[in-house]
Amino acid sequence: MTGIILQGSSRSDGDTAAVVKQLAQLLDYEIIDLRLLNFSDYDYLAENSHDEFLPTVRHIVAHYDHIVWATPVYWYSMSALMKRFLDRISDCLRIEKETGRQFRGMSMSLISVSNDERNEAFETPFILTADYLGMSYLGDQHVIVGNDHDIKSQLTAIVRKLKSC
Ligand SMILES: Cc1cc2nc3c(=O)[nH]c(=O)nc-3n(C[C@H](O)[C@H](O)[C@H](O)COP(=O)(O)O)c2cc1C
């Protein structure tokens, strides 16, 4: 399975980045830091269709069969940056359906990051998105980053799962 990790933190050198770095090494996956991508909010008029969103999605569906969404927990939910990227997938249902259709048959998983436990509903948007796009949802791992928590050991189960697919 060839995979790409979409990093959705508001900082490129924070807790999520530390987790993503280890995950990418363990799985030999590429990383896209969404913070460095030039793309704007979903626009009903698609006047932003020439920003970097569509070329990025075209690249993803052409080269990978698995997407790892890696987001910090911000206000009990995914980051606004990651939500913006998800919102823009509506472009692939409205103005570029051929790209949208290519999600079908791919798979996804979720990594969330915070300094505490996470609520159970957190993964619901990802599970439902996978279902809507015809993708398999392979699971999630919440990683707690802090003094007493080892990142690598928390990634063991999800890495084993993804390597077995
Ligand atoms: C805007 C914002 C909202 C946050 N909301 C939550 C929250 O609801 N629950 C939680 O456990 N931590 C929350 N945190 C803490 C972050 O999840 C935590 O510090 C995380 O490890 C930061 O990852 P980052 O360095 O990639 O941003 C919040 C942090 C920020 C900046």
CATH label of the domain that carries residue 135? 3.40.50.360
Cβ of residue 75 lying under 6 Å from some atom of ligand 1: yes
Out of 22, 23, 33, 74, give the residue to mutate to test ligand 1, the one with the largest number of ligand atoms within 8 Å of its CB: 74
pLDDT band at 26 (very low <50, low <70, confident <90, very high): very high
User: Averaged over 15-32, what is the pLDDT?
Assistant: 98
Residue 23's domain spans which residues? 3-163
How many angstroms does the Cα of residue 16 sit away from the middle of ligand 1? 10
99-122, pLDDT tens digit by residue?
999 999 999 999 999 999 999 999
How many angstroms does the Cα of residue 112 sit away from the middle of ligand 1? 10
Atom 31 in ligand 1: which residue has the minimum CA distance? Answer: 74
For the chain, percent of residues with pLDDT exceeding 70 = 100
For the chain, what is the HEC assignment? CCEEEEECCCCCCCHHHHHHHHHHHHHCCEEEEHHHCCCCCCCCCCCCCCCCHHHHHHHHHHHCCEEEEEEECECCECCHHHHHHHHHCCHHHHCCHHHHHCCCCCEEEEEEEECCCCCHHHHHHHHHHHHHHCCEEEEEEEEECECCECHHHHHHHHHHHHHCC
Cβ of residue 113 lying under 6 Å from some atom of ligand 1: yes
pLDDT band at 34 (very low <50, low <70, confident <90, very high): very high
Q: What is the mean pLDDT of the chain?
A: 97
Domain count, the chain: 1
Give the position of tokens 């063991």: 156
Atom 26 in ligand 1: which residue has the minimum CA distance? Answer: 16
User: Averaged over 16-34, what is the pLDDT?
Assistant: 98
**15 CA: nearest ligand 1 atom:** 25
- Cβ proximity of 67 and 6 under 8 Å: yes
Cβ of residue 44 lying under 6 Å from some atom of ligand 1: no
**Residues 6 or more apart from 145 whose CB is under 8 A from it?**
15, 18, 19, 113, 114, 115, 151
137-147, pLDDT tens digit by residue?
999 999 999 98
